[in-house]
Structure 1
Amino acid sequence: MTDRLTIGQLYPGKVPPAAVRNKALAPAYPPNGPSFQRLLENELVRFSQHAEMRLAQRGIELQPDHLTKIGSAIDKAASKGANDSLIIMSDMAFIVNVKNRTVVTAMDSASMQDNVFTQIDSAIVVS
């Protein structure tokens, strides 16, 4: 009684062995799961709920090139070992958690005036 059983023996004609082997090669994300573009966007820059609320309140509209610049600034901050950074870009500023690649809050030029930025360990000026 030490004979090994295979799936083909348990369910003859129901499950071909090739189908069992191909399951191991199935993609990590199902075809109807998140798109590659969506995954890529999540890897570049994320926005906290607070940051999204501030963007809406202050009428800040971000273009794709802004997101690319923020992502590049996060990469530079990470390479220097930063944790929480202030990113200043033309008439906008963002506080970013570098490790999570998440924008924590966003400010327009009016909100930046006479403001003190606390709990940051680095600042990046992006042109």
Structure 2
Amino acid sequence: MLVGHLAASRPGPVQGRRTYPASSDGGTAAVSESEKSFRTLLEEARLKFSHHAAQRLEQRGIRFQPEQLDRIASAIDQAEAKGAKDSLVLYRDVAMIVNVPNRTVVTALDGTSMREHVFTQIDSAVVVG
């Protein structure tokens, strides 16, 4: 179980549903307000998540709040200023491998998954305080 500001459980009840266009063929899909806002945050963030990383976060029940994403993005700014290319970013009980020039989280692991795990092909590590 993750501790701190990270949610390890499923979100509470959805406050309402809206219909948003799902495809160019005119189809629609019901998307909750919370799902839409989280998607919007990810799209607007100074940080991107690869498909693989997004799947890992979802599988492990890890969700970041906007201020947490800002702190992680600021840590990546610091790594970039030092010339980092591929960084291990540690935030609370989550480890992420980030491609710094593309500002993309390539993969993510929670505390349980990173035990006895060897991280390779990184040139730096950033601990987010």
User: Could you tell me the TM-score, scaled by structure 2's length?
Assistant: 0.65
SS in 2 for 1:60: coil
- How far, CA to CA, are the matches of 1:87 and 1:96 in structure 2? 7
Counterpart AA for 1:115: H
Q: How many angstroms does 1:70 deviate by? A: 1.2
Contact 2:95 2:109 in 1 (8 A): yes
1:56 aligns with 2:53: no
Structure 1 residues 109 and 119 mapped into 2: Cα distance closer, same or farther (>3 Å)?
same
Match of 1:86 in 2: 88
Counterpart AA for 1:51: A
Equivalent residue for 2:79, pick from 77, 80, 87: 77
Instruction: Report which of the two has the higher share of strand.
Output: 2
> Aligned residue pairs: how many?
90
Instruction: Report which of the two has the higher share of helix.
Output: 1
Structure 1 residues 52 and 119 mapped into 2: Cα distance closer, same or farther (>3 Å)?
same
Equivalent residue for 2:47, pick from 45, 48, 66: 45
Q: How many angstroms does 1:124 deviate by? A: 0.4
SS in 2 for 1:78: helix
SS in 1 for 2:52: helix
Larger radius of gyration: 1
SS in 2 for 1:82: coil
Match of 1:68 in 2: 70
Match of 1:96 in 2: 98
Q: How many angstroms does 1:112 deviate by? A: 1.1
- Between the aligned residues of both structures, percent identity stands at 59
Counterpart AA for 2:100: V
Match of 1:18 in 2: none
SS in 1 for 2:106: strand
RMSD: 1.8
SS in 1 for 2:53: helix
Counterpart AA for 2:64: L
Match of 2:27 in 1: none
Deviations 1:82-109 (A, max 9, x none): 0000000111111000000000011111
Structure 1 runs of 4+ with >2 Å offset: 37-40
